Amino acid sequence: QQPVQSPQAVILREGEDAVINCSSSKALYSVHWYRQKHGEAPVFLMILLKGGEQKGHDKISASFNEKKQQSSLYLTASQLSYSGTYFCGTERLRALRTGGGADGLTFGKGTHLIIQP
Amino acid sequence: DTEVTQTPKHLVMGMTNKKSLKCEQHMGHRAMYWYKQKAKKPPELMFVYSYEKLSINESVPSRFSPECPNSSLLNLHLHALQPEDSALYLCASSQPGDRGGGELFFGEGSRLTVL
């Protein structure tokens, strides 16, 4: 089942902060975040594997609330290079899978982020 | 080498043609994926190969036929496609871990146009 992302679009001035949310009605093992620029492939940002885990990457960080099956991506002091579409991708708990290995990610509809100078 | 290479980058085909999309990775990953992406939409999972075995087929029409000749290669065979199949086809790979599929590395995609 597709995770729900919000907001659909954000317009920021350079240096401002943004939060993108992702929620699922299904129990998750992990949440991934990817950024895709126009005409390019999605690029991995980070993966969150445990409840309450937070990860950071430069000025981009994320959290995962396992109890609520929600994840948030935080972009602080945004730069022009942050523009693009952000997708969360969710992976179900292994116990709920029909087999081993990988099941692939189900992506949310995306959040279109525009950073203006 | 952290690349996933897809060929061709662009493909135009008629509805009666047979063509193939190819994907290659040399990262030693044991999971490979095909995703379909329409404009302004998220990638949509089509097939997953885990350890060279087809593990996920997301109810994809039989006019799409995946093949995984070995752990580095993934093909998508196309036959009798419809104009609505026009899209960007993304290949990805990952290394499955103890309980998860791992970070996805995407290729640049093959942009398919069906006339």
User: Is 80 exceeded by the pLDDT of residue A56?
Assistant: no
Please give the structure tokens belonging to residue A49: 């594997």
Check: CB of residue A87 under 8 Å from CB of residue B43: yes
> SS in 3 state form for chain A?
CCCEEECCEEEEECCCCEEEEEECCCCEEEEEEEEECCCCCCEEEEEECCCCCEEEECCEEEEEECCCCEEEEEECCCCHHHCEEEEEEEEECHHHCCCCCCCCCEECCCEEEEEEC
Check: CB of residue A107 under 8 Å from CB of residue B33: no
Please give the structure tokens belonging to residue A16: 């401002």
Please state which of the ranges A6-20, A54-68, A73-87, B101-115 shows the lowest mean pLDDT.
Answer: A54-68
pLDDT tens string, chain B, 115 residues long: the values are: 669 999 999 999 998 899 999 999 999 999 999 999 999 999 999 999 999 999 888 889 999 999 999 999 999 999 999 999 999 999 999 998 766 788 999 999 999 999 9
**Record: contact A110-B42, CB cut-off 8 A:** yes
Q: Does B90 touch chain A (CB under 8 A)?
A: yes
* pLDDT value for A66: 84
Separation between Cα atoms, residue A24 and residue B23, nearest integer Å: 31
Indicate the residue type of A92.
R
Pair type for strands B110-114 and A60-65:
unpaired
Check: CB of residue B94 under 8 Å from CB of residue B27: no
* pLDDT value for A94: 61
Indicate the residue type of B3.
E
Residues B3-14: b if buried by 16+ CB within 10 A, e if exposed:
ebebeeeebebe
Please give the structure tokens belonging to residue A30: 């992990």
Interchain CB contacts (distance < 8 Å): A and B: 74
**Record: contact A102-B43, CB cut-off 8 A:** no
**Record: contact B50-A102, CB cut-off 8 A:** yes
Check: CB of residue B4 under 8 Å from CB of residue B106: yes
User: Is 90 exceeded by the pLDDT of residue A9?
Assistant: yes
Cβ of A49: how many Cβ atoms within 10 Å? 17
* pLDDT value for B10: 97
Please state which of the ranges A37-41, A49-53, B13-17, B27-31 shows the lowest mean pLDDT.
Answer: A49-53
- Would you state the torsion angle of the CA atoms of residues A79, A72, A99, B32, taken in this order, to the nearest 10 degrees? -10
- DSSP for residue B95: -
Mean pLDDT for chain A? Answer: 88
Please state which of the ranges A15-19, A64-68, B64-68 shows the lowest mean pLDDT.
Answer: A64-68
Over the stretch A69-103, which tens digit does the pLDDT of each residue have? 899 999 999 999 999 999 999 987 665 445 457 88
Q: Does B106 touch chain A (CB under 8 A)?
A: yes
Q: Assign A53 a pLDDT band (cuts: 50, 70, 90).
A: low
What is the percent of chain A with per-residue pLDDT over 90, rounded to a whole number?
Answer: 62
* pLDDT value for B102: 86
Please give the structure tokens belonging to residue A42: 């999605």
